[in-house]
Structure 1
């Protein structure tokens, strides 16, 4: 929990964390090294010098290291884990459900464990998802369209193989589908990260919520137009807040665009831990204010209410997390006819309660 100098308490949900193992003995081939080196380059380039780790710790920080970085130092009240296998690069996988489950077992009241699935695995993958769900009771799963899988170097959400997995999620009551759509990582392919397939599944499955992690960056413009037309698409900000230190103008432009098109209720915080730790990001985000030109373009002021929504309340809503009373927002104003008055920018809109 973050507490402002004025005593305001801000509930923090880190919606994008990993518990990875990129140690030399777990690297299957040279791609295991180049993959973690790509992450390392982001860590060094974005993180304040005094917050940087050495490379060995970056490759493997473990359960207790993660707990200290997140829960003791990083203001995080709840953490959402997003597994990624990458068995083509790592012997036992990079960040598998089983690896992440160790963190959930150690901190069951602070960690939400999501599953993962790959539609290229066909019937076998559906059986695996169902078995994993029976064991862990997922509320969300992750899709990584750029992950290598044998001879396949990625897939698109337009493919027919995807729908059965969305139907299985619906059947199992898994309502949150996280889709990795971010910058290229060596040796993965740029086209497999393209965000311009998200509307296919969002339109076809309106009862599911699609959290597009990294908001498609560097294709923010494409993402904004897609999310603007698909109300069940959420912007997962992981990696974007990391630019607040090294490139604050770039960060501000991305955030103002996202707020304009999506509003403050459809953006969720993520540190992308362990690429970097949440401590300095939360501190700098809470201190950040738009310059005048970007404030006008965002159509939404970065008020305490907006920051609370982004840092924790929006993700808490998606995952049914009980927020302490002192961190909640005031109850919305209700019209006499049972409608709720919502605000987006300076515009007020009536929607059915």
Structure 2
């Protein structure tokens, strides 16, 4: 929990990792990919305040004690959600698997939620594995990497692929409601186009009872994401990388991204994620609570962030998606149950009222 100026913030880190990029885990003959991947992550690490930077060797694999200190003891996080990322094409035991994360859950059951993963190119074996993981770890969400390389030679897939739908249907059957998809920032050697978000539009329409949390909000293609997400009420913007990668290093672009998301998508569909251990959560939580939209004409038409807005983004929105109990002192007052308008509906209402006045 974070407290500032008498306000208490319940923090849900909805996008974090416990990875193993150590040299011993590099696949022989594919070391250049394993090293290139973590080097790219380390480049993103430099976008944080210099006082938070680590040495490269430490970055390859943090200890469980490091994680607990950085995230919970110093980072203010109340509940953390692991997002699994396999990358077994160049990491022998996987980069960050359900099993790695599950071990932390078993050691600290009150601190973590573990998300699974699926890859439609795994076929029936993948469906069986998803069922096993859901049973063992009580999955409420999955993370998909549509640009991941596969042993069959494929370098990407789409949520809208015919082969993907049995996996989304299986998620529905198993009660897995939250589909987290990496869309936006390119990580070498994966292909940029395989991280594009056009497939989200169709999948979200066809599975309205699932929540599609688009991690990194498609940046830098923020306009494409915002215009798509406003049409799909079950699409959320995960702010991992948005806050960690932009708030300190690109403050004006950060203001644009947050402004567009608030204007089009709204404060109820944005979720915080530190992307640990690309970055630690402490400086992100502190900085975001203090942050205000610039008092500049270029940002005048963007919504202002209130304390309630920041509480929702930093934890309350993710808590609602995952059924996490929030302490009474961190909750917001109950809002009236007003039917949600469809995009553009308020414009039609205003136009009709204006026409009646003229008559």
Larger Rg over CA atoms = 2
Where does 1:241-256 land on structure 2 (aligned, <5 Å)? 241-242=243-244, 243-256=246-259
2 CA distance for matches of 1:2 and 1:340?
32
Contact in 1 for aligned 2:85/2:97 (Cα 8 Å):
yes
Contact in 2 for aligned 1:145/1:155 (Cα 8 Å):
yes
**Equivalent residue, structure 2, for 1:24:** 23
Structure 1: runs of 5 or more not aligned: none
Structure 2: runs of 5 or more not aligned: 350-359
Residues 169, 11 of structure 1: CA spacing in aligned structure 2 closer, same or farther, 3 A cutoff?
same
- Structure 1 position 328 matched with structure 2 position 342: no
Residues 196, 55 of structure 1: CA spacing in aligned structure 2 closer, same or farther, 3 A cutoff?
same
| Deviation, structure 1 residue 218 | 1.5
SS of equivalent to 2:198: coil
2 CA distance for matches of 1:108 and 1:294?
46
**Equivalent residue, structure 1, for 2:201:** 199
| Deviation, structure 1 residue 27 | 1.1
1:312 to 292, 306, 315: 315
- Structure 1 position 296 matched with structure 2 position 296: no
Where does 1:266-285 land on structure 2 (aligned, <5 Å)? 266-285=269-288
Contact in 2 for aligned 1:333/1:340 (Cα 8 Å):
no
SS of equivalent to 1:229: coil
Provide, for residues 179-211 of structure 1, a one-character-per-residue CA deviation record: whole Å limited to 9, x for no partner: 111211110001100011101110000010000
1 CA distance for matches of 2:218 and 2:75?
25
Contact in 2 for aligned 1:63/1:102 (Cα 8 Å):
no
SS of equivalent to 1:157: coil
| Deviation, structure 1 residue 340 | 6.2
**Equivalent residue, structure 2, for 1:236:** 238
**Equivalent residue, structure 1, for 2:185:** 183
Where does 1:117-266 land on structure 2 (aligned, <5 Å)? 117-150=118-151, 151-242=153-244, 243-266=246-269
2 CA distance for matches of 1:326 and 1:308?
12
| Deviation, structure 1 residue 13 | 0.4
Q: Give the alignment's TM-score, normalised by structure 2.
A: 0.91
2 CA distance for matches of 1:89 and 1:248?
35
Let me know the Cα RMSD of the aligned residues: 1.7
Contact in 2 for aligned 1:333/1:341 (Cα 8 Å):
no
| Deviation, structure 1 residue 12 | 0.5
Aligned length: 339
**Equivalent residue, structure 2, for 1:47:** 48
| Deviation, structure 1 residue 295 | 5.0
2 CA distance for matches of 1:99 and 1:284?
30
2 CA distance for matches of 1:325 and 1:7?
15
Q: Give the alignment's TM-score, normalised by structure 1.
A: 0.93
| Deviation, structure 1 residue 89 | 1.1
